[in-house]
Amino acid sequence: MNVLLIYCHPRTDSFCAALREAAIRTLESRGHVVEVRDLYAEGFEPALSEEERGRYYEEGADRAALASHIAALRRAEALVLVYPTWWFGLPAMLKGWIDRVWLPGVAFHLAGPGDLQPRLTGIRRIAVVTTYGSPRWLLWLIGWPDWRVFRHGIRPLCAPGCRLDWIALTGMDSCSPERRRRFLATVSARLSRL
């Protein structure tokens, strides 16, 4: 498959960087074509400008500044996102990528009130690889907010029956090196079945 891997972490020496590398190695070893977009390395601008927001719903609007991201998203048959969960949500850079790239005419079409038509029906699989500083019990208590964004917001814009794989390490703030090593192995094992 053509896999679009979106990576979002500001530090090159982070555990997320090791997760990204494990994901790329695994996916390529299984014969997938992997396109990596490193939002921080690219200097992606996450904020919607006043002009962009004003023409947000104009499907024919000029999107030249985002053309390479839109083309990569349209080519994708699978989407893999590697990021840390901060404050129970997506890093601002990643949230901004969704705000600016998953646009009407790109990710969906609004045919009328309550009629949202998916436009990324080539994406059959989504895998999220993320870390949480919080313990698992707290995430269950508050309802896994970032999972909800992908399950109820992103996945419905993809192919019918698109599968969402959630690969998460909780308690990252007190995680031992051995537990990190095991999680890297888990990421490789889960992505090998993509």
Looking at every residue in the chain, the average pLDDT score rounds to 93
Q: Percent of the chain at pLDDT above 70?
A: 100
The two beta strands, 108-112 and 115-118, are antiparallel
111 or 38, higher pLDDT: 38
Question: Which contiguous run of DSSP H or E holds residue 81?
Answer: strand 78-85
The CA-atom distances, in angstroms, between 104 and each of 2, 58, 158 are: 23, 7, 13
- Taking only the tens place, the pLDDT of each residue in 105-125 is 999 998 877 788 999 999 999
Lowest mean pLDDT among 56-65, 66-75, 138-147, 158-167: 138-147
Res 75: pLDDT: 97
Res 138: pLDDT: 74
Print burial letters for 111-148: b (CB count within 10 Å at least 16), e (below 16).
Answer: eeeeeeebbbeebbbbbbbbbbbbeeeebeeeebebbe
- Taking only the tens place, the pLDDT of each residue in 140-155 is 778 778 889 999 999 9
Q: What is the mean pLDDT of the segment spanning 39-68?
A: 92
Q: What is the mean pLDDT of the segment spanning 163-192?
A: 95
Res 110: pLDDT: 86
